[in-house]
Structure 1
């Protein structure tokens, strides 16, 4: 069984985000970039499935500018067998990414497509659902546990919902998006980092995949959220109720 994992290059989670002076976006020049944390979890799960004998190959996929190759090298160092880079210099939004993934799935024929539930830069949480819809595959989103049964060709997914946990059974091929509590991603060791340099990264373009990139979204302005005002100490319940009613207008 082959598993395909989509990974995204984002601003590192520890970096303080700065908005550009013209408010057209966030500053990415000379900023540390890394693999999206949810994508790391998806890749780790694919590697664990392979190590348990449930898969024969793990293919990592990333889309974006040439720098995405560095993120793919990290994925290869973690243990992915090979990688595909969809070279596109501009911005890609969830529907375009889903169309590209659909084309890659049709070419590679994986039995399982794993994605992080969302990216920490745009927080869209849409790509997995969209690609499942385009492929007409069953989907298990927000997965906190994944169990595969190769004989029956099904995947049992515990997914986190507002009320707790929901268990769904998916016939393969399927799409699964991963949540934080699924696993703890491994670190890439130095020997594996060196080995990753010799692993294959295939480069394609959306045109090669016969995918037309067209955005239905326009970023009008990016602004920082308003700074939170300092709190005040009240001397009585009556004063608290008065402030909540007349100043905060929440009651």
Structure 2
């Protein structure tokens, strides 16, 4: 496989507090790669550095062969992202949002086709404030894809959704991968990571404390489920 993301000894601090402290990871083309960890572990900072939205203090980072610090403008044309604090104006309509986002890219997909493909055509004139949580997330996925990205980063995509909406969103994420898009998924739901991720990195206190397939992490922790393995791995870190 070919690496889409290569991270080596990445460091980022806020004042004197390290958010990332020597993170090394490799994400392969065409996989769903999960990032999990407690609140404040550094997950969102890592995604923001990969996206070019925040500059690391040290280490090396290559995304699609580019350096997000020096090639940010080029990189933003090749990636899509739905970050944790994503929001849209309440009054904007579905079709307006897709048309606006498409205008940000040099070679976007046909936003009308994206709207149809993701089941949003019947809601094209619905304002953002009037969409349910599940339909808002579907719109965010469509917005992340309207630029024809090779890589999409999704940060806590299903937080706040009811179980049915979460399952529907999982199907949309799998469909992204089937279309050849590499997905980085930040999640704190271990059932989600086990259902979707080809590989998973667990981050705590700015360090990668475990990495591998869900099955490998379960075996490493000597647990019977990924959720129990996650708690075992993070509790070991807390005890150090």
Query: TM-score when scaled to structure 2?
Result: 0.29
Query: TM-score when scaled to structure 1?
Result: 0.28
